[in-house]
Structures are given as structure tokens and as C-alpha cells.
Chain A
């Protein structure tokens, strides 16, 4: 069957759609709601084409191709239509970043998205690096948003295990609903309510678990926007490697793709679009492997305590210990989670080197639970590769060598502990339930000095016996076993039972209960037992603030605009001493990080201070979850050098996002001193603008700018300033208070004007007294400490690249801390989950 697409004659296949035919032939037609795993839906109309002789613009994803069709995919009319369709869709999406004129610069300056609560634009969106909407927008050349977009003010849903949902980003493409239906037979989620209220949800507002969700994660995989996200993976950005391998959590042996960043597994998905995997395969791999609790260094017992030593010493010690236990006094105990290659080496070691008949391979039960029933009495020395022997039998053994991934009572009482690689950290061959061989492919590095199990045992074997025939690689062992790597495959024809029924999931791996290492599984358990954690909502509850509140009590808390909150805190000592430009350092509770916030306002008489706080990262998330009437552990201040209030002439103060708060008092004080103050406040969109009234009241002129031109002038604050300068306004001083990007562009774009520009640097500070050096920055080649020398610096002298790098430096740890897949409230509530206050950063 022949057709013509964009002038090219093409052989079409009967039954395929126009889109499929085009894509197959390397002709790209923009599309959005359709997905390779799903039947056509025809909802978004982005994929429209022109077909000669056909009326209107058919959607290529749902129109079957037919003999002799002459199709045009790239006419000017189509481009315009598509752009308009996307533009309409973007009216209910935080779309300002898509039409921002500085978006490329922004991407360069902040390549990673910022870890906010509610996403209000691409640069704070977890989907930023892999977004289909962004790509489409760039392709179609979307440049303006026709009318003021609508923001839905839906609270971000963070109370579900593993999955975060920010429905404010949803474009209603329906992919999630359709994949759920395909993978589960029935859709757990669906479009609910009508017209402008339509959203993705469950019947009667049930939670996902109640609605029958198995946490297969398929909806997260297909969502083209940042609406549905994997709580653990979302902030790692674009993976730098993709490895196809087999899941070894159970003997279903599902085929997976594991995504890695810097040799660290960050995300996993089923390999096949048309088949779901279970909750473990989708959500439990990265967090389990990256657990801060993993064993990292070999240890041997010296004078009753385990001490970290080199691997040579460890191997040497093993050989010495085992010397006297050849024959039936030795046993090797492993389970089927080790690869066939590993197990081949274990068995050979047991029989040839130790000359013992006692090689035990435990087959875990349905829940993955693996414990040995009976070890012969005569066994006095064991090597184990997991937590298989109940601790009460410990005293039976004179020598215990524990190869393991996590510490336990067993490893703590062992003579030697050797950390090993597992799962995606190693390669080999595994056997599925149908006795079919499957490949296990290494996707990431094991922690610390951990090694594959076979190589640890081989080293011991070599030390004990000169006759050991050395393997140089896993392939070497596979060859000996007669495995033909060419025949190994990842084919699969059915979904694993646990993907259809959550209760079928395994709970143990190598004798370890997975809930201890994968926080989302604890959440699942809580749901099953009927006590889910609910996210605190910001519904106003009546609180009685006492006449004489305790220090640091939150007297009022309100969400000014999405993701930005205003706090009024009782802190009379600070209110008495504060001056414009100063900041305070807040500790939410005894164990939390110290975070600097600019003072936005204060009232000496009432003894209160006002802070504007953006939810970004773990500490501020804790902060914004503090409700009215609750107390903060500590507020220190006022800190920093106050802005010098004197006669400057005409001052332009530029404020952006969380910086806008600090402008209020500064502007008032400068104006009272006789300056002419022009305040220019920027926001991404009209729904992100706040304090307009307050700023109008304290300035001689107030200008609002928005990136999407939905309120006031178009652009950043600097664009407002440039227009003023063009119009002949004489400015004597520029002050910029906002995020580093905003201050950086202000600095760069005013450098040539000869006007002095001052910025307020609030980068990462820790102790706030100049001792820790965390806030070090370079200004005009000199090292300064933002906490004591600042926050105000000459914007033209600041090394902006360094400011950016310092912020980036902290983000890896922050991601680790914020990414536990437990619903957010539980993280906030249980600081001791990982037994210390470091939230796993230690």
C-alpha cells in the first residue's frame, strides 16, 4: 500500500495509523495524548495533519492510513493550529517558563530543577529535564500565552506511598487513566467531576490504596508532565544511563529498565509498555540499593569488636579462621537471590576447598522469607550470604563469616563481615519460576568496597588452596556452566501476580525485611492496616493564641501564593532590634537544619516578626508544615549588616519570589529618608504576584511585571527597569532582592549603565556567625561571608557562577534526604527513622 507523506512515497502497512506510519519512516509529527502502549484516544489534537481530499484536519494518531493517501504534516496552517491548541492547553498549566525570554539562560544557570512543593513553572518542576510538553512547546515555537492562565490551587498530594501528585500540572491527556485500565483491567483512577473541575481522581475521594491501586507505577511512567511523579526519583533529573536487566526480588524475574545517574540507580520501570511490574520492581530498587544503612567496608573482629580493615586482611583472616574447619564441620548457606554463577562458586568452594557436603541453598517462601530449618549439629563454621540463621543458633558456631548487604544482629556477632554487591550492582544469570535462564546486568556501582559475592569467595578460596582455578570474570563462570549468553532473553508474556494484587508482593530479600529500607513499603503497610498518614492541610483551624505567647510561637501562617507562605512569629527580642535588610536563622525543631530567612516585617509593639518562606527543599518543607499556635525550636537574630538608610536619590528596588517580602520594610525606610523609591516586583504569572498593596503603599511608584504578561508589564523586573531607563528616568541606585538567577541577570544587564547595583545574597548559611564558612562567596576577588558581611553586596562584583555552584554542591545530599518514598508527613514526623538526626545524610 503506497501513500505520500510530505512529498515522499512510502510503503504503508495495513491497519496502522497515519502517525505510526510516519514515525516508522522517520517523519515526526508532534503528538501528546497518544502513547505507544495505548490505543488512540484523539483528545489533544496536537497530531493533526492535512490529507488531500479529506475535510478538516484529522488527528493522525487515530486515523487509519489508507491506500493512496496524500498527507501533509508540516504546513504553515498546521503549525499555527498546533501552536494555538498547545497555547489553549497551557492556559491551565504553570506555563510562564515556556514563554520566558530568558529560558535558555535560566536553563544554563540552573540546569537542575529546584525541589519545591507545588510546581509553579518549569524551572521548579521535577519533569523539567524530560518533559514532553516543554519539547513540544519549543518545537511549535510557543511564544505567548493569550490570556491570563488559570491556576487550580489544588494541594499537592503527598500522602500516598511512592507517588506524588500535583494536579495543577495535569493537562488531562488521559494517559494515566488508560494505562491503568490496560494494566489493571479496571482503572483505579479516572477523570472525575465536570468541565473546569475535571481532574484525575478516585471514587469519593478515596486514597489510592482504598481504590485498589497496586502501586505498579505505570501511570507515573506514561504521564508526560510533572503531575504524577515517583517521589524517590523525581529530583534526580535526566538519567545518564539506561540498563535492561532482570528483577531478582522474586522468581517472576520481570524485565526491567534501570536508570542511573553517576553510576547510582535512581529509577526503575518495567521494560514493556504493555505489561506492568509490581510495586517492588518499580519503586523498591533504588532506595533499597542506595540505603545509607548498606554495609560498605570489610570488617574483622579484633579484641571482641569489629574493625574496618583492608580487603586483603579480611580475606587473610577468613582463610586462617576456616583452616581448622574442613569437612563436615563447615557449611555454606546462601539463598536463590545469588546468581547461578555466584552459587556455582559457593558450591565449588564448599566441596573442593572445604571438602564439605554441606552446601545449603535456601528457597525463599512466598513472601521471600528465607530461614534455615536445620543445620547439622556437627557444623561449627559457616559462611552466610544473608540473614538466614535465627540469632538463637548463633552460639552453636565457633566461626561465622557473613557476606551481606545490611548490618544485623548476625553480622554484629560475626567474626568477619564482607559487604557485597547485589541485584543491579552485579551481573550474572538467574533462573525464573519456569526454569528459564534470565540475564542480570550490572546497572550501578555497589556501595563502598562491596564486591560481587563470587569474587569474595574466590579470593578466600585462592588464599586457602593453591589448586583453585581462577575465574577472571562472570562470563568465565557462565561459560563453565554452559550458559549461552546469546540465548538469554528478557521476553515476558504476562504480568507478575503482585502487579495485580498488592498482597502478593514479597516482603523479604536475603533474609532482610524490605520495609526497613524502603520507606514507602511502610506506608503501604500502614494503609493496609488502616492507619495512613494524612498530610496536614492548610485549612484554617481555630487556634487560641494566648495573651502572652511563648517565644517563637507561630501566630499566623498563610499561603500567599502557591508554594510561598507568610509566617508571623512571636519574637519580641528580634522585633525590638531589627533593621531593614537583616535576616534571622530558624530551627524548626531541635534536630533540623538552620535556615536563614530575610525579615520581611516586624512590629515592635506586638513583639512579632514576619517572614516570607518558599517551600524548597527539606528544611523549608518542615517549616511550612508548622501550623498556627505551634512553636519553632529556635529563631536567632537579627543577623547580618543592615542596609544603610541614607539619602541616595532615586532608588529602584527589584524584588522577586521570596525576596519580595524583604522589600516592604526596606522601601519604607528609604522613602522616609527622603529618597524616591520605585519598586519593581516580578512574578511568573498573575497568580504568583503578592504584596501588591503593601508595596504600592511604601513606594513612590510600583511596577508589577510577569513573565507571561498576565498582570502588569511583561518580563522580569529588570525589563521593567530597562524600560524606565529608556524612558529617561534617572536612577541612582539599584537594589535587587530575589533568587540568585534574578539577581545575576540584574547584575549582568545593568553592568553597562554605570549605576551602582546592590544585591542581597542569601545563599546557604549554616551557623550564621561566620564560623562555619558555608556561606563563603567571592566579591570582587575577595572572600566574604554572606552571614556577617552581607547580605548586601555590590552585584557587579559578585562571582555569580560560584554562587550557583555552591547551591548545587548541596543538592545531592538534599535529594537523598528528601527522596525517601514515605509520604511527606511521615518524614516530618519521624526524624529518627534512620536512628539519627541526619536524615540519612550522615
Chain B
């Protein structure tokens, strides 16, 4: 295997050490891995399976039961749609719907080009600006269906320009 794979494994082993090699450690270990790498990868689950002596399918079964765990690396831009009360009242669900359409992914997923991850969050803390969307922490206020699509297009444009320059 490549050196990056062995690096990953030794990195994981360090993370694991804090926890006893028992079935009950599955959830804390998953949380560690996600906290550290941002998502749960297949090699991480395999390593965990080795460490705990349970099967990869069992760990995956536990992990996929909870929506908090992600199985793909987060996109370059993490889009958060606020589902807090204020935003909800101001129809944030329509915004979410628009993004779903535009990005062709479900909340919790990442676009195949790895650019965008769509997430629902509880409250961003700027209820006065509802409905809000945040991209990598940057807040966009009083969103409408048209506005979100505009913003997404801007980001796409920005990326394309970058790629163009690199060429």
C-alpha cells in the first residue's frame, strides 16, 4: 500500500489508543475519526474493524444509522442552510429545495465534483437576517430561490476562472 495509506493507518492507531478495544467504543471512535478527518472513510472503518475485532459491515451499520456521520469528504464549500425557527418561518425549506435542484444532491451529501456539501443546521444565530445560508462560515442574508442560485453560480464561476488560470 502507498505511504499515505500507512500514514493514515498509523494516524488512526494513535486516535484509537485512547479507547478500549471493545464493541462499546464504536461510536466514540467514529466521532474521533470524523472530528479528525471530517468524514468516515472506508480504510478508516477497516482499521477500526481490525482494532475492535468486529466486522467493517457492523461498524458501517452503526455509523450509517446516525445522520451525523458522513462517508464522503466534505466539499470545498460547505453550504449550511439554517432550519432554526426564524428561518423556518421565513420558508428556509424553499431555499433548501432550490439548492437541492441546483446542486442535484440531498442534504448531507457532496456534489460529485467535490465542490459543494449541502447541510442543514439548527440555527446560525442571525435570525434577524432570516432566511440565511452560510458558505464556509460566510453568511448570506435574506435568501430567495433566485438569490441562492446566483450565489452558487458565482462560486462556480470563481472556480472555473481559477482552473483557467492554472492551465
Q: How far is the CB of B19 from chain A (nearest CB, A)?
A: 19
Query: Is B45 a contact of A204 with CB atoms below 8 Å?
Result: yes
A211–B65 CB distance below 8 A: no
Number of A-B contacts defined by CB within 8 Å: 56
A204-B55 in contact (CB<8A): no
Q: Does B64 contact A (CB under 8 A)?
A: yes
Are B55's CB and A193's CB within 8 A? no
> How far is A186 from B50 in the complex, measured between Cα atoms in Å?
11
Report if A189 contacts B (CB, 8 A).
yes
CB of A203 closer than 8 Å to a CB of B:
yes
B67 with A192: CB separation less than 8 A: no
Find A211's partner among B54, B57, B66 (CB 8 Å cutoff). Answer: B57
Cβ contact within 8 Å between A201 and B65: no
Residues of A close to B65: CB separation below 8 A: 191-194
Determine the residue in chain A with the shortest Cβ distance to B55. A186
Residues of chain A at interface, number, CB under 8 A: 18
Contact with A along B44-68 (1 / 0, CB 8 A): 0100010001111111110011110
Closest to B53 in A: A186
With A194-B67, A203-B42, A204-B42 as given contacts, are A187 and B60 in contact (CB-CB < 8 Å)?
no
- Chain B residues, Cβ within 8 Å of A192: 57, 60-61, 64-65
Q: Bound complex: CA of A188 vs CA of B58, how far in Å?
A: 8
Q: Are B64 and A187 in contact (CB under 8 A)?
A: no
Say whether B71 faces chain A, with CB atoms less than 8 Å apart: yes
Contact indicator A204/B71 (Cβ below 8 Å): yes
Task: Contact check, A203 vs B45: say whether CB atoms are below 8 A apart.
Answer: yes
Per the bound structure, the CA–CA distance linking A211 and B55 in Å amounts to 8
Whether the pair A203, B59 counts as a contact (CB closer than 8 A) is yes
Whether the Cβ atoms of A201 and B67 lie closer than 8 Å is: no
Q: Is the CB of B64 within 8 A of A188?
A: no
Report B-chain residues with C-beta under 8 Å of the C-beta of A58.
none
B residues within 8 A CB of A201? 57
A202 adjacent to B66 (CB under 8 Å): no
Quick one: which of A181, A186, A188, A189 has the most chain B CB within 10 A? A186
Residues in chain B near residue A203, CB distance under 8 A: 42, 45, 55-57, 59-61
Q: Which residues of B contact A206 (CB under 8 A)?
A: 42, 56
Contacts of B49 in A (CB 8 A): 186
| A193 in complex: contacting residue of B45, B53, B64, CB < 8 Å | B64
Closest Cβ of chain A: how far from B28's Cβ, in Å? Answer: 19
Q: Which of A178-220 contact B (CB under 8 A)?
A: 181, 184, 186-194, 201-204, 206, 211-212
Q: Nearest chain-A residue to B46 (Cβ)?
A: A203
* Residues of chain B lying within 8 A (CB to CB) of residue A187: 55, 57-58
Known contacts being A211-B55, A212-B55, is A190 close to B60, with CB within 8 Å? yes
- Which residues A153-199 have CB closer than 8 A to chain B? 181, 184, 186-194
Q: Which residues of B contact A212 (CB under 8 A)?
A: 55-56
Contacts of B53 in A (CB 8 A): 186
Residues on B with beta carbons closer than 8 Å to the beta carbon of A188: 55, 57
- Docked CA distance A211–B59 (Å): 12
A204 to B, closest residue via Cβ: B42
Inter-chain contact A194/B64, CB cutoff 8 Å: yes
With a CB–CB cut-off of 8 A, which chain A residues contact B54?
A: 186
A194 x B58 contact (CB < 8 A)? no
Contact with A along B61-96 (1 / 0, CB 8 A): 100111100010000000000000000000000000
The residue in chain B whose Cβ has the minimal distance to the Cβ of A189 is B57
Report the minimal beta-carbon distance from B23 to chain A, rounded to whole angstroms.
11
CA distance A187 to B49 in the complex (A): 11
Number of interface residues of B (CB under 8 A): 17
Residues of B within 8 A of A189 (CB): 57
User: Which among B57, B58, B65 has the greatest number of chain A C-beta atoms within 10 A?
Assistant: B57
Interface of chain B, helix or strand or loop or mixed?
helix
A204, B57: Cα distance in complex, Å:
8
Question: Chain B nearest CB: distance from A522 CB in Å?
Answer: 25
CA distance A374 to B81 in the complex (A): 79
* Chain B residues whose C-beta falls within 8 Å of the C-beta of A186 in the assembled complex: 49, 53-55, 58
Residue among B45, B55, B66 with the most chain A CB within 10 A?
Answer: B55
Compute how far the CA of A476 lies from the CA of B84 in the bound complex, rounded to whole angstroms.
86
> Cβ of B42: which chain A residues have Cβ within 8 Å of it?
203-204, 206
Contacts of B59 in A (CB 8 A): 203
Chain A residues closer than 8 Å to B45, beta-carbon distance: 203-204
In the complex, A649 Cα to B16 Cα: how many Å? 80
Docked Cα-Cα span, A189 to B61, in Å, equals: 9
Complex Cα distance, B54 from A245, in Å, reads: 34
Q: Which of A236-267 contact B (CB under 8 A)?
A: none
- Chain B residues with Cβ under 8 A from A184's Cβ? 55
CA gap between A192 and B61 in the complex, in Å: 4
How many Å lie between the Cα of A187 and that of B61 in the bound state? 11
Q: Report yes or no: A211 in contact with B56, Cβ–Cβ below 8 A.
A: yes
Give the residue name and chain of the A residue nearest to B66 (CB): A194
Chain A residues within an 8 Å CB radius of B61? 190-192, 203
Q: Roughly how many angstroms separate A206 CA and B57 CA in the complex, as a whole number? A: 9
- Are A202 and B57 closer than 8 Å at their CB atoms? yes
A629 to chain B, nearest CB (A): 24
Which residues from chain A contact B67 at a C-beta distance below 8 Å? Answer: 194
| Residue numbers in B under 8 Å from A191 (CB-CB) | 61, 65
Q: Which residues of A contact B71 (CB under 8 A)?
A: 204
Known: A203-B42, A204-B42. A190 touches B58 (CB 8 A): yes
Which B residues are CB-close (under 8 A) to A202? 56-57, 60
| A204–B58 touching, CB < 8 Å | no
- Expressed in whole angstroms, the minimum distance between the Cβ of B1 and any Cβ of chain A is 15
The minimal Cβ–Cβ distance linking B11 to chain A, given in whole angstroms, is: 20
Residue of A188, A193, A203, A206 contacting most chain B CB atoms (<10 Å): A203
A201 to B59, CA, bound (A): 12
Do residues A190 and B66 form an inter-chain contact, with CB atoms below 8 A? no
How many angstroms between the C-alpha atoms of A188 and B54 in the bound complex? Answer: 9
- When chains A and B are docked, how far (Å) is the Cα of A369 from the Cα of B115? 55
State A193–B49 Cα separation when bound (angstroms): 18
A465 vs B54: C-alpha distance in the bound complex, in angstroms? Answer: 65
Closest chain B residue to A211 by CB distance?
B57
Q: Is the CB of A204 within 8 A of B60?
A: yes
Tell me the minimal C-beta distance from B67 to chain A in angstroms.
Answer: 7
Please name all residues of chain A whose beta carbon is closer than 8 Å to the beta carbon of B60 when the two chains form the complex: 190, 192, 202-204
Nearest CB of A to B147, in Å: 32
C-alpha gap A630/B65 in the complex (Å):
41
**Chain A residues near B66 (CB-CB < 8 A):** 194
**What sequence of 0s and 1s flags, for each residue 121-133 of chain B, a beta carbon within 8 Å of any chain A beta carbon?**
0000000000000
A203 to B67, CA, bound (A): 16
B12 to chain A, nearest CB (A): 16
In Å, the complex CA distance between A203 and B42 comes to 8
- B64 to chain A: which residues have CB within 8 Å? 192-194
In whole angstroms, what is the CA distance A211 to B64 when docked?
Answer: 16
Closest A residue to B71 by CB, please name it: A204
CB neighbours of A193 from chain B (8 A):
64-65
Q: Mark A348-372, 1 if CB is under 8 A from B, else 0.
A: 0000000000000000000000000
**What is the bound-complex CA distance between A186 and B61, given in angstroms?**
13
B154 to chain A, nearest CB (A): 29
Distance to closest chain A CB from B56 (angstroms): 4
CA distance A382 to B156 in the complex (A): 79
Interface string of B20-43 (1 = CB under 8 A from A): 000000000000000000000010
Chain B contacts for A204, CB-based, 8 A? 42, 45, 56, 60, 71
- B45, B65, B66 interface centre (most CB from chain A within 10 Å): B65
CB neighbours of A190 from chain B (8 A):
55, 57-58, 60-61
* Listed A/B pairs (17) with beta-carbon separation below 8 Å: A181-B58, A186-B49, A186-B53, A187-B57, A187-B58, A188-B57, A192-B60, A192-B64, A193-B65, A194-B66, A202-B57, A203-B55, A203-B60, A211-B55, A211-B56, A212-B55, A212-B56
Give the top 3 A-B pairs by smallest Cβ distance, nearest first: A203-B60, A186-B55, A190-B61
Q: Known pairs A186-B53, A206-B42; list 20 more (Cβ under 8 Å).
A: A181-B55, A181-B58, A184-B55, A186-B49, A186-B54, A187-B57, A190-B55, A191-B65, A192-B57, A192-B64, A194-B65, A201-B57, A202-B60, A203-B55, A203-B59, A203-B60, A204-B42, A204-B71, A211-B55, A211-B57
